[in-house]
Amino acid sequence: MFLWQSKRSSKKSASVERLPVGPRSRSNLVRYGGLIFAVATSPNKIPSLHEQTKLALDFLDTSLARVGASKSDILQATVYIADISKKEDMNRAWDNWVDRENAPQRACFGVALEGDDLVEIVVIAMNKSG
């Protein structure tokens, strides 16, 4: 399994679990106590915001499933897109993916993203096992 734990010395502290991906110095998912913090970008840097959003959401599904969570557990999402004028392209992918019975609070910002990334999605979800 790709998870590892780092424990604090205090008896009151919950363990921290991190799901690393790739050689970068960051975790794609961190679980602490009752919360899961996750981030996703598209693994394929195709020049379509809609397609990159779909792939990032698929990656997010996979990451959450590794710790027993799903999109239904997401409480809050922040979506960063490279071109805010194309927000509707992202919205189409989001609307087809989101669990409408458990829709999270969501904010979207136009920002400069690294390389060929057109979208980056950051979520906070419930950790039902924590």
Q: Contact, 90 vs 53, CB < 8 A?
A: yes
According to DSSP, residue 13 is labeled P
Q: Contact, 101 vs 72, CB < 8 A?
A: yes
Dig out the tokens for 9 from the structure: 């010395």
Strands 27-32 and 74-81: unpaired
Q: Higher-confidence residue: 102 or 9?
A: 102
Q: Is 16-126 CATH 3.40.640.10?
A: no
Its pTM stands at 0.87
pLDDT of residue 128: 86
User: How do the domains of the chain map onto residue ranges?
Assistant: 16-126
Residue 29: pLDDT over 50: yes
pLDDT of residue 8: 46
Q: Collapse the DSSP code of 113 into the 3-class scheme (helix H, G, I; strand E, B; otherwise coil) and give the result.
A: coil
Which residue reads 């999270």 in tokens? 104
Taking residue 113's Cβ as centre, other Cβ atoms within 10 Å add up to 15
pLDDT of residue 1: 38
